[in-house]
Amino acid sequence: MVLAFFCAEIQGFVRLVSPQVPFCGPAGLSQRFQVAGESNESFFVVCLNTKNEVLLVKKIHLGFCNQVITDMKILFATILQTGALSFICAHNHPSGDVLPSEEDKELTNKISQASRLLDLHFLDHVIVSIDKYYSFQQDTVMF
């Protein structure tokens, strides 16, 4: 569990809000991302140290209105360059429907497999909208 989520404003349409409130799972993560009516999906990675403190929050890709294509090489290069042990992925669904698409499920499975090969802890993939979230970990679809 991440106990502190201290970050400045992120470039782009998503920014962290209420950084002084402790992060407690995917609901806490979704509360920290404020999606301001953007029409495109974006994919983020949250890199964590051994104490699950945030090392980096970075937008990996900006997508289209109904999909974001994530390059695994860029995702894992970012994680490895920070020296992270664990990470969380997050992306938005501008439609407001946070249920994962088949592509979201395939991507999550791919990230999970790759993280095991690299001895990294993939903690969750969270899909957020303005007022809802979906956690793959809570739904135990992939975890």
Q: What is the pTM of this model?
A: 0.76
Sign of the Cα torsion 28, 114, 52, 61 reads negative
| Distance between CA atoms of residues 37 and 122, nearest Å | 28
Q: What is the pLDDT of residue 38?
A: 64
Tens-level pLDDT at each residue, the chain (143 residues):
232 333 322 333 233 433 333 445 555 554 455 544 567 788 889 998 888 888 888 888 766 555 566 888 999 999 999 999 999 998 888 888 889 989 999 999 999 999 999 999 999 999 888 778 889 988 876 65
Total residue length of the chain = 143
Q: What is the pLDDT of residue 54?
A: 85
Q: What is the pLDDT of residue 141?
A: 60
Q: What is the pLDDT of residue 66?
A: 57
Q: What are the helix and strand counts (H, E) for the chain? A: 4, 7
Q: What is the pLDDT of residue 39?
A: 73
Burial of 141 per CB tally in 10 Å (0-12, 13-18, 19+): middle
